[in-house]
Amino acid sequence: MLTANRSNVGRVRHVNEDQSWVGQLDNGVTLAIVADGMGGHQAGDVASEMAVNAFRSVLEQHAAKPSLTEEEGKMLIRQAISEANESIYAKAASNEQYHNMGTTIVAAMLHDHNAIIGHVGDSRAYRVTKESIQLLTTDHSLVNELLRSGQLTDEEAANHPRRNVLTRAIGTDPQVEIDVQSLSWSPEDVLLLCSDGLTNMVSEQEMQAVVAGEELELGGKADHLIGLALEAGGDDNVTVVLLQGASSAKREEGSV
């Protein structure tokens, strides 16, 4: 599996509250997660780091079995995100410094011709091909609820002053509803996981053009996406993870 994992603090923020991780288990399962933390006094970076660590711990411990079924994979993604929620909520409840901290999560497990995606919040997963870009996740945000109910147009949603208000996040409540889906996967497909620091700054058409282009290696494509977000203003931390089957592209330094 070819991978690229990039993050940048942006042009406005002083702390990068995004965290990401990509790894591959001995059984060929590839795992990836992006978490976009929130909370005052640098609590957001604590929440996102805790989320990544909890996710990684559960999956490295339980997903490395020789044969992992689709249902087992979905259960483990759900378990990993649930444990992240519990640990962050407990820390926030016991320490005033971390009161109300939380994070988004978008995570993926890829194996053979199957991808399992789990998410909470407004960090996103996309499937990118040479012809199209497909949003795989649904933002758990106030603006998206208003958009889906017809109360806002696409243009109004893009510029809404409360577009960063989440309706669901990790660590803010004792339990959280987690969206988990499974889909068939082609080696030619590219999976893009990202924080909203990318999607608020760069259009889906621009993202598709970069990722589907043949001029750059996967790492260069991730760097280019980060660069586009910075050129557009870099109002937020921006994180990009790209995953692609090694058989469909030249092997590079970022492969695992």
Domain presence at residue 138: yes
Domain presence at residue 255: no
> Whose structure tokens read 């004792």?
174
Task: Specify the pLDDT at position 88.
Answer: 97
Q: Which two tokens stand for residue 243?
A: 């995953």
Task: List pLDDT tens digits, range 67-123.
Answer: 899 999 999 999 999 999 999 999 999 999 999 899 999 999 999 899 999 999 999
Task: List pLDDT tens digits, range 39-79.
Answer: 876 799 999 999 999 999 999 999 998 889 999 999 999 99
Whether residue 174 is predicted with pLDDT greater than 90 in this model: the reply is yes
Helix (H) or strand (E) holding 184: strand 179-184
Domain presence at residue 252: no
Domain presence at residue 25: yes
Q: Which two tokens stand for residue 154?
A: 């696409």
> Whose structure tokens read 């044969």?
67
Which CATH number covers residue 147? 3.60.40.10
Domain presence at residue 254: no
Task: Specify the pLDDT at position 41.
Answer: 67
Q: What is the distance between the alpha carbons of residues 224 and 81, in angstroms, rounded to a whole number?
A: 30
Task: List pLDDT tens digits, range 188-235.
Answer: 999 999 999 999 999 999 999 999 999 999 999 999 999 999 999 999
- Give the domain extent around 57: 2-247
Q: Give phi and psi for 93, each to the nearest 5.
A: -70, -25
